[in-house]
Structure 1
Amino acid sequence: MKDNRDKSSHILNASSNLLGLCFVVLTSLKLLNIAHKTVIDELTTVATILFMTSCILSFLSIRGNRNSGKFEAIADFFFLGGLGLLFVTTLLFSFNFIT
Structure 2
Amino acid sequence: MATNNKSPHILNAASNLLGLCFVVLTSLKFLNLSQRTYIDETVTIALVFFMASCILSFLSIRGNLKTGGRWETTADYLFLSGMIVLFITALLILFNVIA
Name the TM-score, length of structure 1 as normaliser: 0.95
Name the TM-score, length of structure 2 as normaliser: 0.95
2:78 alignment partner AA: F
Matched, 1:11 2:10: yes
Tell me the distance in 2 between the aligned counterparts of 1:14 and 1:92.
Answer: 23
State the Cα distance separating 1:5 from its structure 2 match. 2.5
Query: How many residues end up aligned between the 2 structures?
Result: 98
> Any unmatched runs of 5+ in structure 2?
none
Matched, 1:44 2:43: yes
Match of 1:76 in 2: 76
User: Identical aligned pairs, as a percentage?
Assistant: 61
Match of 1:26 in 2: 25
> Cα RMSD (Å) of the superposition?
1.0
Tell me the distance in 1 between the aligned counterparts of 2:38 and 2:31.
Answer: 14
Tell me the distance in 1 between the aligned counterparts of 2:3 and 2:48.
Answer: 23
Could you list the runs of 4 or more consecutive aligned residues of structure 1 that deviate by over 6 angstroms after TM superposition?
none
Match of 1:91 in 2: 91
Secondary structure at the residue paired with 1:37? Answer: coil
Tell me the distance in 2 between the aligned counterparts of 1:24 and 1:87.
Answer: 17
Greater helix share, structure number = 1
> Any unmatched runs of 5+ in structure 1?
none
Tell me the distance in 1 between the aligned counterparts of 2:82 and 2:95.
Answer: 20
Tell me the distance in 1 between the aligned counterparts of 2:90 and 2:5.
Answer: 29
